[in-house]
Amino acid sequence: MRFDVQPLIDDNQAQELRNLFSRRALIGGAVATGVLALPLSARAQTTPATGGGEAEITVDQARTAPIPIVIPSFGAGLGDQISGVVISDLEGTGLFKVMSGQVGVGGTPDFASLKAQGARAAVGGLASGSGSVRVEMRLWDVLAGEQLQGTAYTASSANWRRIAHIIADVIYERMLGEKGYFDTRLAYIARTGARHRQTTRLAIMDYDGANSRMLTSGEWLTLMPRFNPTRDQIAFLSYANDRPRVYVFDLASGRQRILGEFQGISFAPRFSPNGSQIVLSATRGGGSDLFLVDLGSGSKRQITSSGAIDTSPCFSPDGSQIVFVSDRGGTPQLYLMSASGGGAKRISYGQGTYGSPVWSPRGDLIAYTRLSGGRFALGVMGPDGTGERILTEGFTVEGPTFCPNGRVIAFCRQSAAGAGGAGFASGIGTIDITGFNERPVQTGTGASDPAWSPRDV
């Protein structure tokens, strides 16, 4: 591997990204870099924040009957903004029904009044400060009359949205027994211009579309961003100097490099679960094969040689298997094989052709796109090919990516173009793995190729 002479991401952008998006360092048991979290003394029975534990309400139950929760304003100005984001995060899941009401942050709530309202949980919050903001939050189980969480968060006022997302994550976890996904990022491709002459730029934003930042200038076509699950890195495909190749950008150092040298085009990168390798596709003659590239040494190893087009590889969460697309049987279908190569087995047998497989972090599902009858569908199936379900359909729906807890998928939805490209639109949406609660993500530009970050990037 070598470093590109002319970086695609300039030094100023690299420094800004280091400041904004690097989150792996902890501060004395705090939640993440830039936000200090300290426990508040309990006013009633208290359960610490670190546990997760078993919740009385499951996600499946909440889909049928959303959890009624009271969340009042955290105070005028910034407090209103913070509670507004918390409410938006929770309501956006379709699993919570947010209600107005009085809770307070300094004392025990009036549980009888909250019960009469039909509330199952309640949140008291207060934001104070200007340059540095302190946000106190208490989460109460109304039916049990117990405090589930009490935490004070301190950060610069520029990080107020992070505090809001972290609070929403805590509420989600305490009520549902699973970690939330609100304090996460989406990398994506921002698209501007006419349908057939679009400028594409690598971009990154909060999961809900806020705080969007462009990483590349748009001089070259850029596609397929991917997050490293264990390091502050993004891999992506760039057509820089009119030669499509995979690049790796390091958020911590600001350095970027071409990932290996191949005779043909390299594309479709995916990191291994431990972050030490990338599996990608590289063209060879009229076909393409899969290669493993070691990020430390730069060594590469070919793991398919079917003579067909093998592409779109993705590791299983335990790193033992790879799902990929191949037309070795005549049409593009999904195949499964050992991560070391060999023993490929077809798993897709529905109508049409398949593409863009991605493994759920839970390991129980593979999401994919399917083209049949001139229309695209987004679906999921078990790793053995059983239980295939279509979640949504459209002119084009593609590029699925799972959120860190595996409950929600982000994807690209595009509309048909008329004469001269009129009517074309490309955007990012999210949908629950049951096909429930499809929602658009507001990006401010056309968008495609979403990639969901792990929790701490």
> What pLDDT is stored for residue 251 in this prediction?
80
Residue 274 has pLDDT above 70, yes or no: yes
Cα 394 to Cα 307: distance, rounded to the nearest angstrom: 32
Condensed to tens digits (0 to 9), the pLDDT of residues 122-135 reads: 999 999 998 899 99
Burial class (CB in 10 A: 0-12, 13-18, 19+), 329: exposed
Residue 3 has pLDDT above 80, yes or no: no
In a 3-state reduction of DSSP, which class is residue 429?
A: strand
With cut-offs at 50, 70 and 90, classify the pLDDT of residue 5.
very low
The pTM for the full model equals 0.91
With cut-offs at 50, 70 and 90, classify the pLDDT of residue 6.
low
Type and span of the H or E element at 125: strand 121-129
Cα angle vertex 184, ends 193, 135, to 5°?
A: 120
With cut-offs at 50, 70 and 90, classify the pLDDT of residue 13.
low
With cut-offs at 50, 70 and 90, classify the pLDDT of residue 21.
low
> What pLDDT is stored for residue 352 in this prediction?
96
Contacts of 94 (CB under 8 A, 6+ apart): 63, 66, 432, 436, 437
With cut-offs at 50, 70 and 90, classify the pLDDT of residue 422.
confident
Residue 29 has pLDDT above 70, yes or no: no
> What pLDDT is stored for residue 196 in this prediction?
79
Domains in the chain, ordered, with CATH? Answer: 33-176 (3.40.50.10070), 183-452 (2.120.10.30)
Residue 71 has pLDDT above 80, yes or no: yes
Cα 453 to Cα 229: distance, rounded to the nearest angstrom: 7
Condensed to tens digits (0 to 9), the pLDDT of residues 92-133 reads: 999 999 999 989 777 899 999 999 999 999 999 999 998 899
Q: Which one-letter amino acid corresponds to residue 58?
A: T
Residue 211 has pLDDT above 70, yes or no: yes
Query: What is the overall mean pLDDT for the chain?
Result: 90
CB-based contact 105:127 (threshold 8 Å): no
What are the CA-CA distances from residue 419 to residues 2, 193, 397, 422 (Å)?
44, 15, 21, 6
> What pLDDT is stored for residue 56 in this prediction?
76
> What percent of the chain shows pLDDT beyond 70?
89
Condensed to tens digits (0 to 9), the pLDDT of residues 296-349 reads: 999 999 999 999 999 999 999 999 999 999 999 999 999 999 999 989 999 999
Cα 234 to Cα 208: distance, rounded to the nearest angstrom: 19
For residues 416 and 82, which has the higher predicted lDDT (pLDDT)? Answer: 82
> What pLDDT is stored for residue 195 in this prediction?
79
Please compute the mean of the pLDDT values over residues 272-299 and round it to a whole number.
Answer: 95
> What pLDDT is stored for residue 15 in this prediction?
65
Cα 259 to Cα 282: distance, rounded to the nearest angstrom: 11
Please compute the mean of the pLDDT values over residues 253-274 and round it to a whole number.
Answer: 91
With cut-offs at 50, 70 and 90, classify the pLDDT of residue 397.
very high
Alpha-helical runs (H) found in 2-154:
11-21, 59-64, 78-92, 111-117
> What pLDDT is stored for residue 14 in this prediction?
66
For residue 205, the Cα-to-chain-centroid distance in whole angstroms is 10
Please compute the mean of the pLDDT values over residues 401-423 and round it to a whole number.
Answer: 90
Cα 451 to Cα 136: distance, rounded to the nearest angstrom: 32
> What pLDDT is stored for residue 30 in this prediction?
42
